[in-house]
Structure 1
Amino acid sequence: MLYATPPLSAIDERVLEEIASMRRDLQHVVQQSPMKWTADLRRSLTASAIAASNTIEGYRVDPVDVADLLDGERESVDASEEDKAETLAYQQTMTYIQSLWDVEDFTYSKGLLNALHWMLQGHHHPHRPAGRWRRKPIFITAAGDPHATEYEGPHEDDVPALMGELVDWLNHGDLTADPLVRAAMAHLNLVKIHPWTDGNGRMSRSLQTLLIARQGVLAPEFSSIEEWLGMPGHTWEYYQVLRDVGGPVYSPDRDTLPWVRFNLRAYHEQSQRVQHRVKRSTDVWLALAEHAERLHLAERQLTALHEVAMTGRVRRSRYERAEALSNQQAVRDIQTLTRTGLLTPIGNTKARHYTAGPAFPSDVLATAHRRHTITNPYQDA
């Protein structure tokens, strides 16, 4: 038996309608924008999702460093080897998930879920078995007290049947429910079954992202709520609602509406955040274009300046790949931007990156750092 999808109230339906409207607007903007304009944003959103989900589990790598790791800059990133390994494993998992969003003959299976788990946790095998159901009890301990059990998962002998039930539901269950609600319920059921010895939280969040992406409204990079969940206050709420809804043991007869509402709020607020980020990103491109002639910039050089404005820094190697340049061309361009004061080099050799220099247009930076307000859709309800 699985945790059941709850009936929604009029308030919940209104929140879903607002989310759908924002997502349609985002889809239109993303489709109309040149690919180059959204490339930085896609990479940044992916890096933020990976960083946030790993942070929830105690692995801390800054989103900017995650972006560098995704580009193969392992040696230049200032993080522990363990944190790097976890980041790269999660990136591998998310990359595969992103590739599945438009597969026509796609189907969920136990094999798919175990394969995704191997991508995430295979580097720990066999010390922590990966890609196979757990064969022992699972206990979630309370924060600060390793002897206090906060949640006990179902017996290991029941896991194969429960996962079979979940896979069947993923393919055929509650298909008339809103896809965002189904994605939230997939997350809840997987994390409460807790079928693996480790990595269950990240797998549950990954499965939710996959279901959202399979909806096809937005590319997967714009669909995840993992960045939102990784914010400190939200992470505490996340664990709290999982405790309250899931119960101290596997209890699929409990009311799941508080969990769905928590997720609807996350979808809504993350959509607001992405809307603001897309608008800032577009406005930065337009502002840089206005300065291009005055600053004698080639169009391709705007790519380096855009990344600096939006993320705070750029590496020569990433600029080279983004614009499909030779090493010599990329070096020449970066040197030119440095000589004119648009960029400032930080660090040496492989660790070197570039930040905004004294001549970087201040109005562009002001646009990139423009503040916004996020509203809770349930606040006044």
Structure 2
Amino acid sequence: MNHQNSLGSFQLGADLSGKRIVVAMSGGVDSSVVAALAARTGAETIGVTLQLYDHGSAVKRAGACCAGQDIRDARAVADKLGIAHYVFDHESQFRESVIDHFADEYMAGRTPIPCVRCNMGVKFTDLFRLAKELGADCLATGHYVRRVEGAGGAELHRAFDPARDQSYFLFATTQDQLDYLRFPLGDLPKPQVREIAAELGLIVANKPDSQDICFVPDGDYASVVRKIRPDADTGGDIVHIDGRVLGEHKGLIHYTVGQRKGLELGGQPVPLYVVRLDAAKQQVIVGPRAALAVQAARIVDGNWLADVQGQPLMAKVRSMAKPVPAQMDGEWLRFDTPEHGVAPGQAAVFYAGDRVLGGGWIEETEAVELNLAAA
């Protein structure tokens, strides 16, 4: 199999001898293949793994990353490739910047995205610094995005494989980071990545992909929040948008905007959805699906890779949502047509074609005026 197209994506010149590449190795197949491709360029390759949480709690977990068995897998791959491998303990930083923030956001009635916080903090900022300290010419990762050299410098683009594209989670990548980062897998479909791993005899060739939230066992995020914030199960009222109290909830952490299941409100004339969460009053506000319609969202803490003001763009407001037409007007993202299920705490990421223009955090939303009698 010819991997030259992948090797070219390191973009350090035709002859990489004398160059040094640091590869972020999580112990999965993607980052392992990146390490293998880097080593094959002739550049000195160094694998770096960040231990992000306790070995013991994750060593037997399938679909985890950055702990236990995954660290051993990364080391085994590095040994097979004949490259140096270092493990750095960043557990306390990860707990403070990602896990604690995750719990606090749920307690505040918001819907967090810990993977973005991890990428913009522990993974990119800290790995960026470590790679620089190691004298590397670039830092390579196994993310499925593309780095394209444009007229104004490096640009971030969606991956070739839309099913694997991770650009939504990397919107907070700064221009300085993008100049230094490399994403060799951005042009490859996942099956080909596994083929490369198998061809090279890497033990992780058939290893399952990691789950999105690595520190949440079995998808039970409420148990994680309860462990960190024991008062997370404080109940309160479920209130219709017309002011009627319809029932009681068992804690805001169990609900997200757009949720329908689990409300346990029988006998209602129409299906009800979570419209918003009021942490100050400990209330879950519900209403018909029409009440989820949002015409605008206020965006804060933006990271901009291009100008987005006053021009048509495509906005993605949930990781699994399709981008929709919108415009930025100051701090406000205004949708061309009403969008449903826009939740504070989530990210809004902006695109022009495949190019990522930047993004920010949804702080609040502006609902479409609703006629309750008609709804």
Instruction: State the TM-score bracket (shorter-chain normalisation).
Output: under 0.3
Which structure is richer in relative contact order (CA contacts within 8 A, separation 6 or more)?
1
Structure 1 or 2: more helix by fraction? 1
Between Structure 1 and Structure 2, the one with more strand by share is 2
Scaled by the length of structure 2, what TM-score is found?
0.24
User: Structure 1-normalised TM-score?
Assistant: 0.24
